[in-house]
Chains A and B, each alone.
Chain A
Amino acid sequence: MARKSPEINAGSMADIAFLLLIFFLVTTTMDVDTGITRRLPPPVEDPEQDIDVKERNVMKVLVNSQDRLMVNGKPADIRNLKNLAIDFMAIHPDNPDFPEVQPKFIEELNRELMTSKGIISLKNDRGTSYEMYIKVQNELASAFNEMKDQLSLDLFGIKYTQLVDENRIKGINSAVPVRISEAEPEDIGGS
């Protein structure tokens, strides 16, 4: 005999679901982690052995404990830092005031491009505030991003951030390497 089975009371289903919902609302976070990604250099084994870099190839950025900036021995403003960095890293062939340039064959793009041998050397004091340090890192990162954008516009007519082709992204990255070197920590003082 086919008897009709009694229906399950689903009235409390909503309550259970609400309870779960509230649990997830409380225990989870929605914020996406963002930040500036950098790669630390491996530890130096022999501190005596320094790599020689020509004076003209280095842009020295110093930040003292008062959060003041000095670029190549001259006081500078954080607002100018980006332009200084772009100017420094730009290709100036046969100009002894700017870094050397060398032609580099980029496999991904299948063409030869001039690249700068410039390095930006960043040095900060132990008393520098973290906020200032991030500001400086941010300005330098934005300088490199702008150069990548520029090169991408010249080559493909679209911005670097809009590139989809993996090869093109890799190519631009090797044509404009992010060359920021951080000095071994030492006190540079400043009052």
Chain B
Amino acid sequence: MRFKTKKGKESPGINTSSLPDIIFMLLFFFMVTTTMREVTYKVKMKLPEATEVQKLEKKSLVSYIYVGPPVNSRLYGSNTRIQLNDQFANVDDIAEFVQIERQNRPESDRKLITTSLKVDSDTRMGIVTDIKQELRKSGAFKINYSSRKKSARK
């Protein structure tokens, strides 16, 4: 009896039928663990670091105010600006912004809305104080100073 020689025979292709399953698994992983980007940032923010941070829960009940120097400094200068949703705004616009944010939420959740202040760490407090005063006037009392987690120093 002669053994068959493998010479001249093509190597079998790798079976890729389970590839879609693997990719779908990855896809679902990313869909579950990530959140959608809300807006395009028009201001630069280097968030300050803090050790005693808490997680912001219920992202649907958070509205964001961004403060920092504009990304496009040639067009908008380098003065600190406020960004609400997708555009620059003034301090006076915050009251209206809070009203709209409140109307977009179901009535039962309106008291639970947290305003997250994403402020660049080089900003002067003057503008932040103005924003806080404006928020107090419009009744948005829950605020969160967004900051990055830093491990506690030893």
Tell whether, in the assembled complex, residue B146 and residue A34 are in contact, meaning their CB atoms are under 8 Å apart.
Answer: yes
Contacts of A20 in B (CB 8 A): 27
Picked from B30, B54, B121, the residue with its CB within 8 Å of the CB of A134 is B121
Whole-angstrom distance between the alpha carbons of A164 and B11 in the complex?
A: 60
Q: Which A1-53 residues have a C-beta within 8 angstroms of B?
A: 10-11, 13-14, 16-18, 20-21, 24-25, 27-30, 32-43
Tell whether, in the assembled complex, residue B143 and residue A126 are in contact, meaning their CB atoms are under 8 Å apart.
Answer: no
Contact with A along B118-136 (1 / 0, CB 8 A): 0111111110110011011
Binds A, one of B1-9, B12-20, B69-77, B89-97: B12-20
Tell whether, in the assembled complex, residue B52 and residue A124 are in contact, meaning their CB atoms are under 8 Å apart.
Answer: no
Binds B, one of A54-62, A84-92, A113-121, A136-144: A136-144
Contacts of A145 in B (CB 8 A): 52
Q: Is A170 an interface residue (CB 8 A)?
A: no
Number of residue pairs spanning A and B whose beta carbons lie under 8 angstroms apart: 154
Given A14-B16, A21-B26, A185-B129 in contact, is the A126-B52 Cβ separation under 8 Å?
no
Tell whether, in the assembled complex, residue A40 and residue B116 are in contact, meaning their CB atoms are under 8 Å apart.
Answer: no
Contacts of A13 in B (CB 8 A): 19-20
Tell whether, in the assembled complex, residue B36 and residue A130 are in contact, meaning their CB atoms are under 8 Å apart.
Answer: no
Picked from A18, A24, A28, A39, the residue with its CB within 8 Å of the CB of B142 is A39
Q: Is B151 an interface residue (CB 8 A)?
A: no
Interchain residue pairs A-B with the least CB separation, the first 6: A126-B126, A28-B34, A17-B23, A13-B20, A131-B121, A34-B53
Q: List residues of chain B with CB under 8 Å of any chain A CB.
A: 16-17, 19-20, 23-24, 26-27, 30-31, 33-37, 48-56, 59, 62, 114, 116-117, 119-126, 128-129, 132-133, 135-137, 139-149, 152
> Mind listing 18 A-B residue pairs with CB under 8 Å?
A16-B20, A20-B27, A21-B26, A33-B146, A34-B147, A35-B147, A37-B143, A37-B145, A40-B143, A41-B136, A41-B141, A43-B137, A124-B125, A126-B126, A126-B129, A127-B126, A130-B120, A133-B125
Q: List residues of chain A with CB under 8 Å of any chain B CB.
A: 10-11, 13-14, 16-18, 20-21, 24-25, 27-30, 32-43, 124-131, 133-135, 137-138, 141-142, 145, 185
